[in-house]
Amino acid sequence: MSTSSNFNQDWTKEKWCNGDGFIIEGTVKKVKVHSMFISSKPAVHHTPLPTRFVSITVEVDQCIKRNYKDGVEVPPKMVRATAIAKGYLNKFERVQSQLVEKVDSNALAKAVGSPTGKALPIGFHDDSLPSLHPSTPNIFEFWADAEKFSHKDTKVGDEIRIKTIGNSIFLESVVKMDSQQISNFSGDQQLGSSWTNQIMKHADKDEAPSKKFQPTKQKEFQQDDDEEQDWS
């Protein structure tokens, strides 16, 4: 399926992609190709946006702000996991770490869409608005450059993590999430099976029977300690 729009306003990154952007997780509801026919000319030294996109409709599960330090993206701010005493038997209940800068759908719509809270800027593709937030809660439409992303790579039902270019509907990255591919929020590095294998290796070492005590080794360590004391 493909759609198109005519647009006569400024069509540049400088106009539509300000801000740090968002990291969004959700489920793909629809994929199509959308083309923009632009009648305006970009200002000098401004960067024109693409005009052909893979449009991905997503039911948003959670959204957080992207964070940068000295120009480098860093993981999102989180509340540390804590252990809370429970009862008088020294039992503890662990409280998992939580994201601090979560963004709800209303705030996301105002940031990437229109100031009135619609999920798309007015004029981008108004025919989609009735099927998007807030008319259809938590449903958003994001656009990925068709020269960099294929509409065949994303399917309805896929659980994905996307990063926006600034506070816009335009996408910098799309990552599928499944049991074999786990990514961190900042770099989208694949941890997956290799990471879990490392955990298992460490667990095996911890559970292995301890080796026989070797006095000679202890003597060597003791000698090193004595030498360090002589230098002090």
- Per DSSP, the residues of 98-118 read EESSB--HHHHHHHHS-TTS-
Average pLDDT (162-181) is 88
The CA R_g of the chain, rounded to the nearest whole Å, is: 26
Residue 203: the pLDDT is 43
Average pLDDT (2-12) is 97
CB atoms within 10 A of CB 230: 7
Residue 221: the pLDDT is 42
Residue 122: the pLDDT is 97
Q: Give the pTM.
A: 0.71
Nearest to 142 by CA among 117, 121, 170: 170
Per-residue buried b or exposed e for 155-194, using 16+ beta carbons within 10 Å of the residue's own CB: eeebebbbbbbbbbbbbbbbeeeeeeeebebbeeeeeeee
Strand partners, 54: 33, 144
Per-residue pLDDT reduced to its tens digit, 145-171: 999 999 899 999 999 999 999 999 999
Domains of the chain, by residue range, sit at 2-70+102-177
| pLDDT confidence bin for 212, thresholds 50/70/90 | very low
Given a cut of 50, whether residue 193 has pLDDT beyond it is no
Residue 101: the pLDDT is 76
Q: Write out the H or E segment, with its range, that includes residue 231.
A: helix 215-231
Average pLDDT (173-199) is 53
Bridge-based pairing state of the strands 22-38 and 2-7: parallel
Nearest to 72 by CA among 108, 144, 23, 20: 20
Q: Which one of 68-82, 98-112, 201-215 scores highest in mean pLDDT?
A: 98-112
Per-residue pLDDT reduced to its tens digit, 86-133: 555 555 555 555 666 789 999 999 999 999 999 999 999 999 999 999
Q: Which one of 22-36, 78-92, 209-223 scores highest in mean pLDDT?
A: 22-36
CATH number of 2-70+102-177: 2.40.50
Per-residue pLDDT reduced to its tens digit, 8-46: 999 999 999 999 999 999 999 999 999 999 999 988 899
Phi-psi region of 139 (alpha: psi -120 to 50; beta: other; left: phi over 0): beta
